[in-house]
Amino acid sequence: MGNLRSVQKGFEAVGAEAIVTSDSKKILSAKSVVLPGVGAFKDCMANLEKLDLIGTVHQSVKSGKPFLGICLGLQLLFNQSEEFGQVDGLGILPGKVVGFKDAKSDSGEPLKIPHMGWNTVRVVPGNPLFDSVADESYFYFVHSYYIVPQDPAIVATTTCYGIDFASGIHHENIHAFQFHPEKSQRLGLTMLKNFSNLHH
């Protein structure tokens, strides 16, 4: 949903071949898989179901090949979202997706929702996607919900917006981020390049 073309262009800009497809065979034979998405959690899950891709996403993750989730593609990996009541996600990682309720700035002002624009990302050391990307670099965000993983060990990046929240995870072959590397200029492209160089 939404940002497929810009993600594809981002990969092409760093010399990777990227195809946009809903064909299970093509997805399962790819060297690595990207699940981008913007918009409503419920609509995106409904789309995946309609296209019969839920099993394909699970299989891609289980195969061990590099898997990248972007924005909604991060949130969908978890058990459920509280967006518009509770909606089940893919359940690949334990945890939930919650809204920025009552987020306040340091001066006590209510923060604007969605959290939109550039913000710093603190990186847990040793993540291969952040080779040549300095800690506390700025990346581009647009979201009203954030993930609360059950296992803090999978958190790869954190960001502060009224509260500290997990803005990225890394678990085995899964890399997923709330921010948009494809909209984050040079550093975002560096991340896409690093991802495209990962091997199964």
Residues that are catalytic? 71, 180, 182
- DSSP classification of residue 95: E
Dihedral of CA 7/181/38/114: which sign? negative
- DSSP-assigned beta bridge partners for residue 70: 177
Minimal CA–CA distance to 154: which of 137, 179, 181, 172? 172
Which distant-in-sequence residues (6+ apart) come within 8 Å of 89 by Cβ? 41, 45, 75, 76, 77, 78, 79, 80, 81, 97
